[in-house]
Each structure stands twice: as structure tokens, then as C-alpha cells.
């Protein structure tokens, strides 16, 4: 019997520590498998004498660095959707793609270069990471193709894709204003440019109506955003009980606000209305269901892959930022039948 027929794909999978389907995809030269795994499987197959085909043509390899605090913290489900979009679109485009966690504070030129070299990446996705000055300087000097995913460069030196944070916040706040609310809280936090844009959208909407008054309440985000929002809401309403609504930077914060106002006996939405942002699973599980703004997170990831494909072929083109619209989602925390 020929030696090459003694081993099956199941034998390769067992020795490589992967599934049989992954082995099958690699041997068929399908895209969407990390280069580390691909090399390992091909090495095992070669050692066993299993026949392999020459690799199919693929584009330059890419690496996504995602802020580790975003994955392990309360926004993990948000970034899971983005990663799903990145992976699926990279596979469809035949773009070798890998992903690594990194602390945003440690996203230095040295660390990023080392991570890219480890997978042979030519393009970089920064997911939920606003690059610091040193990293920005290195990215510009090295002409590294980079896409900020759920991020914005205020100087527009780099490509980026994000939800429409300014217009989304403006629309969310307008929903409260149209409902007759004039004194509105905005609970927010974070140093990120995307969140600052939501603050600007809130302030612009409040300023667009006569008698509108908004108060921005900054949360420390040291432990749990819902718990911090609960405490901050109680403090704000204790100091001034005339606020009748809140726009929250995300749904986790909105859940804390909802628990606080319910605790002190306010009826939602009759006495106090709430609008969140992102349309995370907690919005659906809240009682009542949160009114919020839906972000298509998978679409953001897919858009980023398309932008990288363009950048590889047009390296000297001006940087661009793509904003995806966010969609209002009705819920029991806002009666949108009301009018001033």
C-alpha cells in the first residue's frame, strides 16, 4: 500500500490539535485560516507524507489588534460582532487574517511591529484602539496600511469606520425632545474620540430646541458601568429632581439608569424616559425593553476589510472615514406617541 494512503485527514487533525474541518479547509486552500494554523497543518501533512496542493493566490496578510479591556469588560459582545464581520469578510475576500489581544496602554510601535511580524502581516486593523502619538508617528513613517475599526482619527491621517456617533447621539436625543422632555441627562465616560462625538451630538440636539437643557454626567468606569450609572443617577436626581429623561452612551449604562429611577418610584416612561445606544442583548432583556439605537457591528467589520482591500491597491489615496447609520429601536422606556 502506498504510504500516502496510510494517513487520513483525521490523523493530521489529531496531531495538529485542530478539527478535521480545519484540516480539510487548509488542504483545499480555502481562505480564512490563520497563517500559524495553516503552516502547522501543512507541516504535519508533509511529515506524514500526505499529498498537498500548492497554495492558492491570496492577498497580503493582515492583523487585527483588539483592546483587551474591551473584550474582557462589559462591551465584549459589541466587539464580538465586529470580529465576526472581520473574519467572515476576510475569508470571502481571500485575505489572510489573524487577531491578537493587546492592552491599549501597551500598543507601542515596538509591540505592534512585533505582533505584525509574527504573522507576516502587511496591514493592520486597530479595533477599539485610539493610537497614541508614538504609534501614529510610526504608522505614518512606515506607511503601514491601517484601518481604525470603531475608531476615529480626529486629524484623518488614517482610514476608519465607525457608527455615526455624532448623528446617532443627535437622533437619540431628538427622540426624547420630540417626546416632550426638555431637561435631559447624558451619562457617559471614556477617553475615546467616538464617545466624545456622542457627547457633541447630545449637546447639539439639546441646543436645537428652545428651553432645552442638558447635563453631562461623567462616569469613572472603574468597576461596573451599570452600577456606576445607578449611583450617578440617584445623585443627579437627588440634587435636581426636574430632569425627566436620560440619553446613555450605551445600553449597559442605560440599564443602571433604569434600575435607579425604578428604585425611587418613578414610572418609566411616564415620569422618566431613557434611550440607550448599541442595541446590545441587555437592551432586550431589560424590563421594560430599552429604547435604543442599533449599531450593525458585523457590518462595521465587513466594511473594514473592504477598506483595507482598497488601501492595499491605492496606498497614496487620501485617508477616508466611513460612518454607518444607527437605527432607532423602540422600547418601553420611551413613549414615542407623546408630543410636546
pLDDT digits (tens, 9 = 90+) for 301-319: 999 999 999 999 999 999 9
> 261 and 140 share a domain?
no
Mean of the pLDDT values across residues 37-46? 84
57 found inside a domain: no
Judge whether 53 lies within some domain: no
**Beta-bridge mates of residue 67:** 102
State whether 79 and 33 are in the same domain. no
Judge if 19 and 114 occupy the same domain: no
pLDDT at 338 over 70: no
333, part of any domain: no
Do both 258 and 286 map to the same domain? yes
Provide the CATH number for the domain around residue 308.
3.40.50.2300
For residue 88, tell me if it sits in a domain.
Answer: yes
pTM of the predicted structure, to 2 decimals: 0.81
Lowest mean pLDDT: which of 32-46, 163-177, 236-250?
32-46
Helix 109-119 with 133-142: angle, nearest 10 deg: 50
Which pLDDT does position 71 carry in this prediction? 45
What's the pLDDT score for residue 88?
87
Q: Domain end: 295, 313, 332, which one?
A: 295
Asked if 67 and 122 sit in the same domain, the reply is yes
Domain that holds residue 312: 62-163+297-324
Q: Does 20 map to a domain?
A: yes
Q: Are residues 284 and 180 in the same domain?
A: yes
- Residue 340 within any structural domain of the chain: no
Same domain, 285 and 173: yes
Contacts of 29 (CB under 8 A, 6+ apart): 53, 55, 56
d(C-alpha 102, C-alpha 106), whole Å = 7
Overall average pLDDT of the 230-251 stretch: 97
Which pLDDT does position 22 carry in this prediction? 87
Are 282 and 309 contained in the same domain? no
Same domain, 287 and 174: yes
Q: In this structure, are 176 and 266 located in the same domain?
A: yes
Say if 338 falls within a structural domain: no
Least reliable range by pLDDT among 1-5, 39-43, 128-132, 298-302: 1-5
pLDDT of residue 5: 47
In a domain, 278, yes or no: yes
The number of domains in the chain is 3
CA distance 3 to 11: 13
Residue 1: band (very low, low, confident or very high) from pLDDT cuts 50, 70, 90: very low
Q: Is the pLDDT of residue 73 over 60?
A: no
Are 174 and 234 found together in one domain?
Answer: yes
| Cβ contacts of 296 within 8 Å, gap of 6 or more | 324, 327
Residues 203 and 107 in one domain: no
Specify the residue for cell string 476615529. Answer: 152
Amino acid at each position: 500500500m502506498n504510504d500516502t494512503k496510510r494517513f487520513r485527514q483525521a490523523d493530521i487533525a489529531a496531531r495538529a490539535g485542530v478539527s478535521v474541518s480545519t484540516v480539510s479547509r487548509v488542504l483545499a486552500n480555502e481562505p480564512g485560516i490563520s497563517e500559524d494554523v495553516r503552516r502547522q497543518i501543512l507541516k504535519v501533512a508533509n511529515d506524514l507524507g500526505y499529498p498537498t496542493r500548492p497554495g492558492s493566490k491570496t492577498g497580503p496578510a493582515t492583523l487585527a489588534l483588539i483592546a483587551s479591556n474591551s473584550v474582557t469588560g462589559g462591551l465584549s459582545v459589541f466587539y464580538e460582532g465586529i470580529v465576526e464581520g472581520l473574519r467572515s469578510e476576510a475569508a470571502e475576500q481571500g485575505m489572510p487574517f489573524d487577531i491578537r489581544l493587546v492592552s491599549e496602554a501597551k500598543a507601542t510601535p515596538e509591540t505592534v511591529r512585533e505582533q505584525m511580524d509574527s504573522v507576516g502581516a502587511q496591514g493592520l486593523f486597530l479595533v477599539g484602539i485610539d493610537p497614541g502619538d508614538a504609534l501614529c508617528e510610526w504608522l505614518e513613517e512606515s506607511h503601514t496600511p491601517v484601518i481604525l475599526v470603531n475608531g476615529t482619527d480626529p486629524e484623518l491621517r488614517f482610514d476608519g469606520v465607525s457608527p455615526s456617533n455624532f448623528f446617532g447621539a443627535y437622533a437619540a436625543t431628538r427622540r426624547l425632545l420630540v417626546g416632550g422632555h426638555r431637561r435631559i441627562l447624558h451619562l457617559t465616560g471614556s477617553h475615546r474620540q467616538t464617545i466624545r462625538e456622542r457627547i457633541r451630538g447630545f449637546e447639539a440636539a439639546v441646543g436645537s430646541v428652545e428651553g432645552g437643557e442638558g447635563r453631562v454626567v461623567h462616569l469613572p468606569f472603574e468597576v461596573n458601568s451599570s452600577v456606576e450609572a445607578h449611583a450617578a443617577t440617584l445623585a443627579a436626581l437627588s440634587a435636581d429632581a426636574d430632569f425627566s429623561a436620560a440619553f446613555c452612551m450605551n445600553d449597559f449604562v442605560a440599564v443602571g439608569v433604569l434600575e435607579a429611577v425604578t428604585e425611587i418610584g418613578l414610572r418609566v416612561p411616564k415620569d422618566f424616559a431613557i434611550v440607550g445606544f448599541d442595541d446590545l442583548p441587555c437592551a432586550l432583556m431589560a424590563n421594560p425593553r430599552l429604547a435604543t439605537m442599533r449599531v450593525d457591528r458585523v457590518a462595521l467589520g465587513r466594511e473594514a476589510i473592504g477598506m483595507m482591500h482598497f488601501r492595499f491597491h491605492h496606498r497614496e489615496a487620501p485617508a477616508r472615514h466611513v460612518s454607518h447609520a444607527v437605527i432607532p429601536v423602540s422600547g418601553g422606556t420611551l413613549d414615542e406617541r407623546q408630543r410636546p
